[in-house]
Amino acid sequence: MGLIVQKFGGSSVANAERVMNVAQIVTETYKAGNDVIVVVSAQGDTTDDLIAKGKEINPAGSKREMDMLMSAGEQISIALLAMAIEKLGFRVVSLLGWQAGFESSSVYGAARIKRINCDRLRTEIGQHRIVVVAGFQGLNKYDDITTFGRGGSDTSAVAIAAAMHADKCQIYTDVDGVYTADPRKISNAVKLDEITYDEMLELATLGAQVLNNRSVEMAKKYNVELEVLSSLERKPGTIVKEANNKMERMLISGVAKDTDVSRISVIGVADEPGIAFKIFSRLAAKHINVDIILQSVGRENTKDISFTVARGQGDEAVEIVKQFTSSVSGKDIVVDNNVAKVSIVGAGMESHPGVAAKMFEALYNARVNIQMIATSEIKISVLINQDDADRAVTAIHAAFFD
Amino acid sequence: MGLIVQKFGGSSVANAERVMNVAQIVTETYKAGNDVIVVVSAQGDTTDDLIAKGKEINPAGSKREMDMLMSAGEQISIALLAMAIEKLGFRVVSLLGWQAGFESSSVYGAARIKRINCDRLRTEIGQHRIVVVAGFQGLNKYDDITTFGRGGSDTSAVAIAAAMHADKCQIYTDVDGVYTADPRKISNAVKLDEITYDEMLELATLGAQVLNNRSVEMAKKYNVELEVLSSLERKPGTIVKEANNKMERMLISGVAKDTDVSRISVIGVADEPGIAFKIFSRLAAKHINVDIILQSVGRENTKDISFTVARGQGDEAVEIVKQFTSSVSGKDIVVDNNVAKVSIVGAGMESHPGVAAKMFEALYNARVNIQMIATSEIKISVLINQDDADRAVTAIHAAFFD
């Protein structure tokens, strides 16, 4: 009994049959005595198809018009889901982002949710209707439609759950929860019953791709309990919530692999103060996120600086570093795309100093060479040769979970 | 120099190439020194495809959700057209029905425009932007999206032209104007330079299908000058406006054929007062439009009543009449679907009594038998055998225009 927000992604509503399946899940939740607000994405490839239509006409079309174009996708899926729910005999109403009260910043294509005016949502819930809301979209101060960027529908769902003080926010996907490793690769990967917001944030960053970071950050901020579960199976998923005593018994919660990495090494820069600052401030100015940084002493009063960036930003990062080094102390720049980042994440590792050693031992036994190491309070990442990545994940997973 | 409203139908924006063509027309009008508001329909078959998607999930889905679903079609086309206009280097903004200020009645699927709040339109025009507006859609008092039914985009365009006091409303279609007869059938059909609202109304009713009646009625009411022209050719079309002296010289403005007709005859009803009233009030109660009515004396104190309805309403009309006659004076009911209505329309015929005679003479010479006749101030219609229809149109057209 309570208010439950359920979010279904594009693949969960990709065709008529799946829309009916979602309608079943939603109405079962309603029949169990809950109020239900459902957030849906555009069907299947609809968003990509709409973008392609726009790009065909004008590859440099404005982001305002692109948002107008894309947001039609969710409009179609909310109407279809509402009709499916009507077919099952329940009272329902679909609402566009602006009808549901989503007020956003003005940045088209990547708007932030500023506020949800819940009046209409409350009215519809008060009339015992199931409410189907278009994810990913809001309205800015000019009364123009905006979209929220990648993972925007997850963020919409968490924002509604926070604003409406929902009891739970269920994120339905095509996996049935969060695993200790990619279950397609690691046969004995274990599904987690619970995980903390911070662990989930690290796993999302590390390429587990179950939940978008923004939505987890918002859930953490407003203490919204999330559940990640499958729309194709009827079984409990993984709960994402604040740490508690029970959860802390688990040393690490997952092993993740990220191959979307480039390593850039600047060899033999002058060993003088401010070089690192100058390089990384230039990268930051161009919105390039640097992940792991390693600085080592080179030969003859020089030093070597290595860092990793997302693969897609590798070329731009090299250009920026080249311009800088040629103007100051032009040296060799080496780019390595054949790398992978493998990480373990666990809220328990803070109080267990042996975790890093155990990870490194597993890698040593598997003959995996470590290029770089980075640590945070709940994460240890190593950069290794990409060819070793799957072997490394298997070895680490076995060391901690077998 | 002035404000021009241009409306483009679904086939005019069916693909990327056609959208670019429309952008050319619009920007040429703008470059000539005009402010331009463009109203567009959904692309090609988009609306039908969306309806099919909805019906697949729930054939009995609510009209509210159907409007939510369908209105996504225009949203896509306005964004695409705006991007095309951006590509040509012009300032442009696309607006959904509600953003353009369309306030409608609450009847989903067939809403009437109550008012246009022109604030936003004026602001955008004031900033010298070309404004692209989604036709066919508005917002009702519940803040829900409504659609305007058949011909809704034409009506949207005329309503904007009226509310913004535009100098002209151009309706672009796939024909280049209004003809004295269907040019695909009658080789020497003549394109009219001008036609009156009333003539256009009669022609629209009679199946000329160039302009929707509702939009012509609104244009007449608010004295909006319409132009019907082709989006594929750059030449003047047909102006639709109030009658003036020049126009009255033309005796008739067109010959039209309508095969979407059923003739229903009720044979041998009692010859007593109120029979006709009772039949037609029952039909009216079921929203069945009766067109031509003929009542004649039958045998033995009975009479025969014949009338025509749209083909699609024939079965329902027969059912209604059957129920009535069986309860009162059950007689034969005959339905004939093999009929056609051929009409001539002309504001000039009021002052020229020989027009009907000339039409009947042409039909006699072509050996076409007339089943029923109906006349109005500017129209003469005959109901004939459908097999004779094309021959009848040719003969009448030749009599008046050769």
Backbone angles phi, psi at A126, to 5 degrees: -60, -25
d(CA B33, CA B36): 9
Backbone angles phi, psi at A348, to 5 degrees: -80, -15
Picking from A19, A76, A86, A123 by the largest number of B CB atoms within 10 A of its own CB, the best residue to mutate is A76
Structure confidence at residue A378 as a pLDDT band (50, 70, 90): confident
Q: What is the pLDDT of residue B82?
A: 98
Cβ–Cβ below 8 Å for B83 and A94 = no
Q: Which tens digit of pLDDT belongs to each residue from B18-72?
A: 999 999 999 999 999 999 999 999 999 999 999 999 999 999 999 999 999 999 9
Question: Of B131, B122, B212, B115, which is closest to residue B171 (Cα–Cα)?
Answer: B212
Report the pLDDT value the prediction gives residue B326, as an integer from 0 to 100: 66
- Contact between B230 and B175 under an 8 Å Cβ cutoff? The reply is yes
Contact A79 B54 (CB under 8 A): yes
Task: Tell me whether residues B79 and A54 touch, CB distance under 8 A.
Answer: yes
Indicate whether A250 pLDDT > 70. Answer: no
Question: Is the model's pLDDT at A165 over the cut of 90?
Answer: yes
Contact flag B68-A58 (C-beta cutoff 8 Å) = no
Query: In this predicted structure, what is the pLDDT of residue A161?
Result: 97
Q: Which helix (H) or strand (E) holds B357?
A: helix B355-365
The encoded tokens of residue A339 equal 């790398």
User: Would an 8 Å CB–CB cutoff place A57 in contact with chain B?
Assistant: yes
Rounded mean pLDDT, A28-50 = 96
What is the predicted pLDDT for the residue at A249?
A: 54
- Residue A80, chain B, CB below 8 Å: the answer is yes
Look at A72 and B79 and tell me if their CB atoms are within 8 Å.
Answer: yes
In this complex, is the C-beta atom of B60 within 8 Å of any C-beta atom belonging to chain A?
Answer: yes
Q: Which residue of B has its CA nearest to A47?
A: B76
Answer whether B20 touches A (CB < 8 Å): yes
- The predicted structure's pLDDT at residue A252: 84
In this prediction, residues A165-174 reach a mean pLDDT of 94
**Which of B19, B58, B71 lies closest to A87 in CB terms?**
B58
User: Chain A contact for B142, CB < 8 A?
Assistant: no
Report which residue type is found at B364: Y
Which residues in A lie closer than 8 A to residue B72 (C-beta atoms)? 72-73, 75-76, 79
A218-246 mean pLDDT: 89
Of B25, B46, B35, whose CA–CA distance to B172 is shortest?
A: B25
Q: Pseudo-torsion of CA B94, A74, A215, A167, nearest 10°?
A: 130
Compare B389 and A249 and report the one with higher pLDDT: B389
pLDDT in tens, A316-369: 899 888 887 765 555 688 899 999 999 999 877 776 778 888 899 999 999 999
Which segments in chain B show pLDDT lower than 70? 205-209, 244-250, 298, 326-331
Give residue A220's pLDDT band: very low, low, confident or very high (50, 70, 90): very high
Which residues in chain A touch residue B58, judged by CB atoms under 8 angstroms apart?
83-84, 86-87
Task: Using DSSP bridges, classify how beta strands B332-336 and B302-310 pair: parallel, antiparallel or unpaired.
Answer: unpaired
The amino acid at residue B51 is I
Residues of chain B in contact with residue A80, where contact means CB-CB under 8 angstroms, are 53-54, 57, 69
Residue A248: pLDDT above 60? no
* A279 interfacial to chain B (CB closer than 8 Å): no
In this prediction, what percent of chain A has a pLDDT beyond 90?
60
pLDDT (tens digit per residue) in A385-394: 999 999 999 9
Identify the residue with better confidence: A301 or A50: A50
Convert the pLDDT of each residue in A89-142 to its tens digit. Answer: 999 999 999 999 999 999 999 999 999 999 999 999 999 999 999 999 999 999
Q: Phi, psi at residue A9, to the nearest 5°?
A: -80, 180
Residues A245/A185, Cβ–Cβ less than 8 Å: no
DSSP 8-state code for residue A41 = -
B344: exposed, middle or buried (Cβ count in 10 Å: 0-12, 13-18, 19+)? buried
Give B16→chain A minimum CA distance, Å: 6
Rg for chain B, CA atoms, rounded: 23
Which tokens belong to A9?
Answer: 């992604």
In terms of CA atoms, which chain A residue is nearest residue B70?
Answer: A76
Tell whether B57 lies on the interface with A, counting CB pairs under 8 A. yes
Model confidence at A278: pLDDT above 90:
no
Average pLDDT over residues A286-309: 82
Contacts of A144 in chain B (CB under 8 A): 99
Residue A246 confidence class, pLDDT cut points 50, 70, 90? low
What is the C-alpha R_g of chain A?
23
Does B66 touch chain A if contact means CB atoms closer than 8 Å? yes
**pLDDT at B274 (0 to 100):** 76
Q: In what order do the strands lie in the sheet with A261-270?
A: A290-297, A302-310, A261-270, A332-336
**Which of A54, A86, A120 is nearest residue B83 as measured by Cβ atoms?**
A54
pTM of the model: 0.83
Give mean pLDDT, residues A203-229: 86
Q: Which helix (H) or strand (E) holds A217?
A: helix A213-222
Q: A55 and A116 in contact (C-beta within 8 Å)?
A: no
**Between chains, do B20 and A53 touch, taking CB under 8 Å as contact?**
no
Instruction: Determine the distance in angstroms separating the CA of A107 from the nearest CA of chain B, rounded to an integer.
Output: 16
Cα–Cα distance list, B141 to A22, A127, A340, B98, B136 (Å): 30, 18, 56, 11, 17
Is A86 part of the contact surface with chain B (CB cutoff 8 Å)?
Answer: yes
